[in-house]
Amino acid sequence: MLPKNIVIPQLPLSSQGAKVILGNIIEPQQLVIPLAPSSTTMFGPRGACLLSDGRLWVSDTGHHRLLGWHNLPTRDNQPADWVIGQPDFYHEGQNAKGTPGKATFSVPTGICACGEGLAVADAWNHRVLIWNNLPEDSNVPADLVLGQDNFIDNESNRGSQIASANTMHWPYGVFYHQGRLFVADTGNRRVLIWHQLPTENGQPADLVLGQPNMMFRNENGGSSPTAASMRWCHDITFWGENLVVADAGNNRVMIWQGMPTENNAPCAAVLGQKNFNSVEMNQGIYSPSASSLSMPYGVGVADDWLVVADTANSRLLGWRKPESILSLQDAVVDALASPAVGIAGQINFQNKGENRNFGLPKRDSLNWCYGIKIIGKTAVVADSGNNRILLWQFNTNS
């Protein structure tokens, strides 16, 4: 137990907790239960995309749909304006209990703005759907599909036992940065990169990380973990000019110094492990620390902050570029096994219970948080185990 005079550094999130809670609003003494679909409820949401103009899209994963708000919600439980993936707000089921199409989902997860449009990782249909323009209504059909050559098929790796540059297996994450599209092709244990936003259905990727070539799909490249291998990559972001990948299966976050230019390029540093070869949860210790991770599924950035959704520890951890380091490139070199400097969701770095010691949900507690993205001063947290999305003020000047 920590001495009473030790102050745990908190992430620069409002001490009042989330300003707005969407989804499950917990009453006193009420436990989280799966919720029937409506315009105000969610079931295990894993991702969200907030636009700078306030439009919000959420992957309501367990209900196999997207929920959309025309403006940034300002009150708890505010109903969504749009739904994509189901005939209305009150139905659920994979592919709307039918066959795959241009506006159906089977376990949608990662979601991001790309160019003028939107991209969604449709994990169990083994594809990514892309809208050329941001949808402004319910059930707007997607314009493009990756991972499949049409909108009807949904076999993993198009029915093959090996991967290729144009197939996917459980893609859980998607990210767009400076014209490039990144997909965490989780079941193939790799990240696929398109140097330009694709324009054709089934267009092959240009670059692969995590595997020696486009055909391999074994865990950690079929060998022991290295600085180049992956086991269960889930989310992607950029910290300054540096690529960041949440490798949940290896209980670490991988950071490249700059943008990789070759297949299977090794990362420069990892967070959550002492070296590139170690992969145990919480570094093999029951209780976490400021330096360990357990199944980190989400990563987000705000100015010089890198924030990690340390999912199985039900907390957010933050790393920040030290004032003495001039560039984030230099920060990456020094990042190996460095401890986090901020935390949210737990009262200290040693706790890991859902909703802080397995308690009831609060405005500042977390239960298997899968996603974290920060736009301006708003952190959007996919608090999946609590069936909700948190909109939480993030003060980047702190």
Q: What is the dihedral of CA 294, 300, 306, 312, to 10 degrees?
A: -10
Output the average pLDDT for the chain: 93
**CATH of the domain spanning 20-393, picked from 3.30.70.141, 3.30.465.10, 1.10.10.60, 2.120.10.30:** 2.120.10.30
CB count in 10 Å sphere of residue 91: 15
- Of the two residues 5 and 349, the one the predictor is more confident about is 349
User: What is the pLDDT, as a whole number, of residue 122?
Assistant: 98
Q: What angle do CA 227, 342, 182 make, to 5 degrees?
A: 40
Q: How far is CA 109 from CA 25, 81, 354, in A?
A: 22, 20, 21
User: What is the pLDDT, as a whole number, of residue 27?
Assistant: 58
Tokens standing for residue 62? 């367990």
**What tens digit of pLDDT does each residue of 101-134 get?**
999 999 999 999 999 999 999 999 999 999 999 9
**What tens digit of pLDDT does each residue of 211-252 get?**
999 999 999 999 999 999 999 999 999 999 999 999 999 999
**What tens digit of pLDDT does each residue of 294-316 get?**
999 999 999 899 999 999 999 99
**What tens digit of pLDDT does each residue of 159-186 get?**
999 999 999 999 999 999 999 999 999 9
Tokens standing for residue 298? 């989400």
Domain boundaries, the chain: 20-393
The whole-number average pLDDT for the span 324-351 is: 75
Enter the pTM of the model.
0.95
